[in-house]
Structure 1
C-alpha cells in the first residue's frame, strides 16, 4: 500500500504540459478509453471543456451528447412501462378518418383486448392509433401512446392515459417490442410496415420469443403476402415456414381469437 512507501519510493510522474500530455510523451494522449496521438491530441482536457462557463453551445448536438439523450429515452421508457402488464400494440395509418370502417374496427379490437385484460399500446397519434386508444380508454383499460418527434407536429391524441414521447425511432421500437405480447397491424403505410417487419425479423432470427403478428384486412395485405409467398420465397431468400409467423384476419373476433390462442 502507498501508506507504507516513502516519498523517494513513489514512482516519478512527469509534469503535465499545457496540452494535457506528459513531458516527454508528446505523441500520446489518453482521453478516457480513447488514445489520441499526433495532430489529434486536444489542446484542452475534457474537464476543462466541461467546466468552462463560456464558449460555443454546439456540443449539445454532438454524437457523444446524443448517446446520453438516447440513454435517457431508454431509461424514461423502461421506467414508464415497467409495471404496465400484458399489452398488445395496434398499428395503422395516421391518415385514417374517424368515418372510415377501419377506425371503428380498430376501436372494437381494442375494446375486446381490454376484455382479455390487455393494455393497448399505439403510436399515440391520430387515425388508427387514436381509434385503438379510444377503444381501450372507453372500455376502462390502460391506453398507452408512444409518440415520436416528427417534422410535422401530430401530438398525443386525447385518449392516451400514459404517454411517452421519443426523439429516436429505434428507442421507441424497442419499447413496442419489449412491452407487447402481440402486434395487430391495421391497414397502414411505411410506419406500419416498419414496425411489422422489425418484429417479423426479430422473431425469425430468434432475437425475441415468438408472439402473434396479426394483419387485419386480407384485401389490403393480400398483395404484399402474395409477393412474399411467390417472388420472395421462389428466390429462396426466406424459409418456407417464415410466412407462418403472420396471420391474416378480417374481423375483430378473428383477431382476438389469434391473441387468445397464443396466450393459452
Structure 2
C-alpha cells in the first residue's frame, strides 16, 4: 500500500521514510518534517537533543578549521590557569611565546589566564599571531586580552583536535589536570602513530621530574611502556632550549617525512616502469 515520504514523494510499499530511516506502524509520525519546521507553536526541547548537538559539534569543527587553516607553523603551549603574573613560570611562558614568534611560529594556547596568558602575551608583544582556543567552563572567563585570534568552544574534543592539527610541537609548562590531559593525549597519539611524530617538551625539571621518574621506575619496569616511548619527551628548565628543541626536532621530522615521500615516489616510478616494460615485451611476443 503506497504512501508519502517525509519530503512529500509518493512511495510504494508500507511504511514511512524519513531520510534513511524507515518507520512503520506506531512509529509513523502524525506530521511531516516541514510541518514541524514551520509550526509557530512548537516546543524548544529539540535545541537540546542529540541530533542538534551533532550540528553544533560540526559547526565547531568547521569554524575551527576555517579560522586556523592558514595559520602556518605553530606550537601549542600548555600550562596552569592559576599561575600568577609574578611567578617564575609566568615569566618563562612569556619568554617561550616571544621566542617562538621570533623563530617564525604562531603560538596556540587554551586562551585562559596564567601560563596561557603569559605565552599569548609574549607572542602578541613580539608582533606574532597569538591564538587562544577557549572553552566553555563555569569557573573560567573568556580568552585573555593578549589573544589576537580567538575561538571559543563548547566541546573539549573539538578544541583538542585544533591543538593537535595545527601545531608542529607542544611545549608543556607546569599545570594541573587539564595540562596532564593534553600532555598524555599528545604522547599517546605519537606513541601509537595516530599522528605524525612531533616534539613534546616539558619545562620544569623540579615539577615534571617526579612524574618522569615514576614512568621510568614503575611503568617501564612493569612492562607497560617501552624504552622508545620515553624518547618522545624532552625535559628542560630553559625556555630557550625548549623552543630550540621544538624547532630543531620539527625540522628533522619534516626532513624525514620528505625523504620517505621521495623514496616512495621513486619506488612507485620504478614499479610503473617495470610494469610498462613487461607490457611492451608481452606485446612484442604476441606479435
Partner of 1:147: 134
In the alignment, the residues of structure 2 paired with residue 72 and residue 96 of structure 1 have an alpha-carbon distance, to the nearest angstrom, of 32
How far is 1:16 from its partner?
A: 4.5
Of 70, 91, 98, 1:111 maps to 98
Match of 2:179 among 174, 192, 200: 192
CA–CA distance in structure 2, aligned partners of residues 204 and 100 of structure 1? 33
User: 1:161-185 CA deviation, whole Å, 9 max, x = no partner?
Assistant: 1111111010000111011010100
Aligned partners of 2:80 and 2:174 also within 8 Å: yes
- The 1:86/1:243 distance shift into structure 2, 3 A limit, reads same
Q: Following TM superposition, by how much is the alpha carbon of 1:240 offset from its aligned partner in structure 2, in angstroms?
A: 2.4
> Is the Cα–Cα contact under 8 Å of residues 17 and 23 in structure 1 kept in the other structure?
no
2:200 is aligned to: 213
- Residue equivalent to 2:248: 261
> Per-residue deviation at 1:194?
1.1
Q: TM (normalized to structure 2)?
A: 0.81
Alignment-derived partner of residue 227 in structure 2: 240
- The offset of 1:43, in angstroms, is 2.9
Q: 1:257 offset after TM fit, Å?
A: 2.0
TM-score (norm 1): 0.88
1:75 to 59, 62, 72: 62
In 2 relative to 1, CA 98–42 (structure 1 residues): closer, same or farther, beyond 3 Å?
same
CA distance in 2, matches of 1:211, 1:31: 45
- 1:201 is displaced (CA, Å) by 1.3
* 8 Å Cα contact 2:132/2:151 also seen in 1: yes
Alignment root-mean-square deviation, CA: 2.1
More helix, by proportion: 2
Shift of 1:24: 7.0
Paired position in structure 2 for 1:123 = 110
Which blocks of at least 5 consecutive residues in structure 1 are unaligned?
Answer: 1-12
> Within 5 Å, which residues of 2 pair with 1:39-50?
39-50=26-37
Cα distance in structure 2, aligned partners of 1:38 and 1:15: 13
- The count of aligned residue pairs is 249
Residue 46 of structure 1: how far off its partner (Å): 2.5
Q: Label 1:44 to 1:23 Cα distance change in 2 as closer, same or farther (>3 A).
A: farther
Match of residue 2 from structure 2: 14
Which structure 2 residue ranges, 5 or more long, are not aligned?
A: 252-287
Q: CA deviation at 1:206?
A: 1.1
- 1:134 maps to 121
1:83-106 Cα offsets, whole Å, 9 max, x none, are 111001110000000000000001
Quick one: structure 1 residues 30 and 116, their matched pair in 2 at CA, closer, same or farther if it must change by over 3 Å?
same
- CA–CA separation in structure 2 for the residues paired with 1:238 and 1:45: 56
